[in-house]
């Protein structure tokens, strides 16, 4: 799926508001020109009629133009309101397709690439790009309003003669070409600005990464080090602004020249028509400014779109392998575990416990020879076959922003409330959730902000309990728990395992007293190939 396809599909589904916004844009554009042009004609004609005496004045048909002026004023306002509403309606709804499509594409990407987009600068860049594309989508009716301006201008100017119409048309064309030229010339300035910004980021990152050293040696100097890249950036921006400000001059000059040209070329007509021509020409050029803005920002929107395209077009193909049973046996570092067995992975931090767990879940590229499922090395198994085997409680206890229920149902959609409460109880969290005013439907805030570290961990544990996968994979379940809660949890885990007959792989740097039938694999004692490298990857 490409970005163009996402937008095309969205545009098709949103065709009604899109067409309405376009139609109203046409009306806005033409009404703006007609309103002022007609007003100019009306006043001049009225003045001449008034000067010619009462008889002429009364015979002058003033009703029609004055009614038209009022009608145009109301039509322009109404149409502009409608245009804004419909263009936002269409743009926002088309934009609403972007994020889900991106999410799906990222989720299907090879794991390393997918996870690299899920944090830090890469993530904020994706968010910026989506916002840029969305803004461009909302503004798509600008070209229709410009078309309306040109139509209205052409209609009025044709009354003043071909020469005036063509003259103003030529100026409008020149303005568009000049804008395009200036924008194109500014592209290299934009690149210079982006480079300067990148250098500034590098400097800021370097200073912050060395904060301790900065503190020790020259804390007062630190601002000076940021100043040089800052100055380069400021200079680049000044040049860019200089180019941008030239557009203002060109636009104002085009407006003035077109009004003068239209006036000059229609002096042979009636004075009222000359007035009409001058004002219509000025409004025509003025009305083009939304289009000019779109022209100047098109480049930015395009490069944002191109970057999003690279994320949208990834995807990895895998083929399932036959011969994996539902109650699969597991082999970790050469130790065979039958379904329902329990094992404790111990070892120093950095000895590769979490790395091993993440390989089982295909959350990190596998290293051959570390683990087998039903005798097949996990390096040969696609993620779709590995992941359903495990119910995972991650070490970082991350939570979704949403309700408690949202968080639990991740593990098994459609699980009944009884199962959810049972899982919460086994994770020793049921009393906390019961105390919340909305129970399972309580909002837990961004990344579980409402909960303490220990509560988040237990929520994460409860989530793993909701899944009925044959193996429980618990990564440091006792971390941050006080001893009585830890004892309670282990007790309930024993009972749960007896009931569900699930196997257990538990990572813990400290012993798990009271957990029965537990064998142990000490990773500090095993020689794990490449473990250091992967632990840092």
Residues 365-384, interacting with other proteins (CB under 8 A): 383-384
**Stretches 144-152, 168-176, 268-276, 418-426: which one binds other proteins (CB under 8 A)?**
268-276
Smaller CB separation from other proteins, 244 or 369: 244
**Which 322-351 residues touch other proteins, going by CB under 8 A?**
348-350
* Eight-state DSSP code of residue 503: E
Q: In the set 2, 15, 16, 70, which binds other proteins (CB under 8 A)? A: 70
Q: Which is nearer to other proteins, 294 or 334 (CB)?
A: 294
CA 485 to chain centre: 40
Question: What part of residues 8-47 is at the interface with other proteins (CB under 8 A)?
Answer: 35-36, 39-40, 42-44, 46-47
Closest approach, Cβ 367 to other proteins, in A, equals 18
Smallest distance from other proteins to CB 332, Å: 17
Tokens, residue 212: 């301790």
Least distance in angstroms from the C-beta of 529 to other proteins: 19
Residues 464-483 that bind other proteins (CB under 8 A): 467, 479-480
Window 388 to 407, contacts with other proteins (CB under 8 A): 388, 390-392, 394, 398-401, 406
For residue 140, what are its two tokens? 């798509």
Q: Which residues pair with 337 in a beta bridge?
A: 330
Q: What distance in Å separates the CA atoms of residue 100 and residue 293, rounded to the nearest whole number?
A: 29
**Smallest separation, CB 322 to other proteins (Å):** 20
Tell me which residues in 279-298 interact with other proteins (CB under 8 A): 279
Distance of CA 530 to CAs 258, 351, 380, Å? 73, 11, 18
Cβ partners under 8 Å of residue 273, min gap 6: 41, 159, 160, 266
Smaller CB separation from other proteins, 231 or 336: 231
Which residue among 1, 9, 11, 60 contacts other proteins (CB under 8 A)? 60
Chain center to CA of 257: 43
Q: Based on CB atoms, which residue is closest to other proteins, 206 or 498?
A: 206
Q: Please report whether residue 84 would count as binding other proteins according to CB under 8 A.
A: yes
Candidate segments 49-57, 143-151, 429-437, 495-503, binder of other proteins by CB under 8 A: 49-57
β 503-507/342-346 pair status: parallel
**Can you name the residues that pair with 332 across neighbouring β-strands?**
335, 371
Nearer to other proteins (CB atom), residue 441 or residue 495: 441
Task: Collect all residues with Cβ–Cβ distance below 8 Å to 83 and sequence separation of at least 6.
Answer: 21, 24, 25, 27, 28, 141, 145
Task: Name the DSSP class of 43.
Answer: H
Of 219 and 375, nearer to other proteins (C-beta) is 219
- Number of chain residues interacting with other proteins (CB under 8 A): 154
Selected range binding other proteins among 86-94, 172-180, 433-441, 490-498, rule: CB under 8 A: 86-94
Q: Which of residues 176-235 bind other proteins (CB under 8 A)?
A: 197, 199-219, 221-223, 225-231, 234
Strand pairing class (518-522; 503-507): unpaired
Q: Binding residue for other proteins (CB under 8 A) from 115, 339, 379, 436? A: 115
Pairing of strands 330-332, 335-337: antiparallel
The tokens of 81 are what? 């309101």
At residue 452, φ and ψ (nearest 5 deg) are -80, 170
Judge whether 284 and 149 are in contact, CB under 8 Å. Answer: yes
DSSP letter assigned to residue 431: H
Q: Which of 5, 15, 112, 118 binds other proteins (CB under 8 A)?
A: 118
User: Applying CB under 8 A, which of residues 110, 242, 334, 529 lies at the interface with other proteins?
Assistant: 242
Q: How far is the CB of 536 from other proteins (least distance, A)?
A: 9
**Beta carbons within 8 Å of 13's beta carbon, 6+ residues apart:** 93, 94
Q: How far is the CB of 268 from other proteins (least distance, A)?
A: 10
What does the DSSP 8-state code read for residue 316? -
Binding residue for other proteins (CB under 8 A) from 334, 365, 375, 453? 453
Q: Does 77 bind other proteins (CB under 8 A)?
A: yes
- Nearest residue to 132 (alpha-carbon basis) of 264, 304, 384, 294: 304
Of positions 1, 9, 23, 48, contacts other proteins by CB under 8 A: 48
Angle at 335 between CA 333 and CA 341, to 5 degrees: 125
Query: From CA 492, how far away is CA 477, in angstroms rounded?
Result: 13
Q: Which is nearer to other proteins, 124 or 188 (CB)?
A: 124
């Amino acid at each position: 799926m490409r970005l163009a396809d996402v937008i095309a599909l969205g545009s098709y589904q949103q065709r009604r508001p899109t067409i309405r916004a376009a139609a109203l844009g046409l009306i806005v554009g033409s009404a703006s020109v007609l309103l002022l042009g007609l007003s100019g004609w009306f006043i001049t004609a009225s003045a001449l009629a008034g000067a010619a005496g009462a008889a002429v004045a009364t015979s002058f048909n003033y009703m029609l133009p004055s009614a038209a002026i009022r009608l145009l004023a109301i039509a322009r306002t109404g149409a502009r309101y409608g245009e804004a509403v419909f263009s936002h309606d269409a743009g926002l709804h088309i934009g609403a397709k972007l994020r889900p499509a991106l999410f799906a594409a990222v989720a299907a990407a090879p794991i390393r690439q997918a996870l690299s987009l899920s944090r830090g600068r890469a993530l904020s860049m994706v968010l910026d790009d989506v916002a840029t594309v969305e803004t461009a989508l909302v503004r798509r009716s600008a070209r229709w309003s410009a078309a309306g301006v040109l139509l209205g201008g052409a209609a009025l100017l044709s009354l003043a003669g071909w020469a005036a119409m063509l003259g103003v048309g030529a100026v409008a064309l020149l303005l568009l070409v000049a804008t395009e030229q200036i924008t194109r010339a500014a592209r290299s300035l934009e690149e210079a600005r982006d480079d300067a910004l990148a250098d500034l980021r590098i400097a800021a990152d370097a200073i912050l990464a060395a904060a301790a050293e900065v503190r020790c040696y020259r804390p007062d100097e630190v601002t000076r080090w940021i100043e040089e890249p800052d100055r380069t950036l400021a200079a680049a921006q000044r040049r860019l602004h200089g180019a941008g400000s030239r557009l203002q001059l060109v636009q104002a000059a085009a407006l003035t020249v077109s009004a003068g040209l239209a006036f000059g070329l229609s002096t042979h007509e009636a004075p009222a028509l000359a007035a009409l021509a001058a004002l219509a020409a000025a409004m025509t050029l003025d009305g083009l400014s939304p289009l000019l803005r779109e022209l100047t920002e098109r480049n930015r929107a395009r490069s944002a779109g191109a970057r999003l395209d690279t994320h949208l077009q990834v995807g990895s193909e895998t083929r399932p392998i036959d011969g994996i049973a539902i109650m699969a046996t597991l082999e970790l570092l050469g130790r065979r575990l039958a379904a329902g067995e329990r094992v404790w992975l111990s070892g120093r931090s950095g000895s590769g416990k979490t790395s091993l767990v993440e390989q089982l879940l295909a959350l990190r590229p596998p290293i051959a020879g570390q683990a087998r499922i039903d005798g097949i090395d996990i390096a040969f198994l696609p993620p779709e076959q590995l992941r359903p085997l495990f119910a995972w409680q991650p070490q970082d206890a991350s939570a979704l922003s949403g309700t408690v229920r949202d968080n639990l149902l991740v593990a098994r959609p459609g699980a009944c409330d009884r199962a959810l409460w049972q899982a919460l109880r086994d994770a020793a969290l049921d009393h906390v959730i019961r105390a919340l005013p909305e129970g399972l439907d309580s909002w837990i805030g961004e990344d579980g902000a409402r909960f303490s570290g220990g509560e988040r961990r237990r929520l994460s544990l409860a989530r793993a309990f909701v899944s009925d996968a044959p193996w429980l994979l618990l990564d440091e379940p006792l971390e941050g728990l006080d001893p009585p809660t830890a004892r309670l949890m282990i007790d309930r885990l024993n009972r749960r395992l007896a009931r569900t007959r699930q196997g257990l792989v538990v990572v813990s740097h400290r012993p798990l007293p009271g957990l029965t039938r537990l064998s142990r694999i000490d990773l500090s004692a095993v020689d794990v190939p490449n473990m250091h490298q992967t632990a840092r990857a």
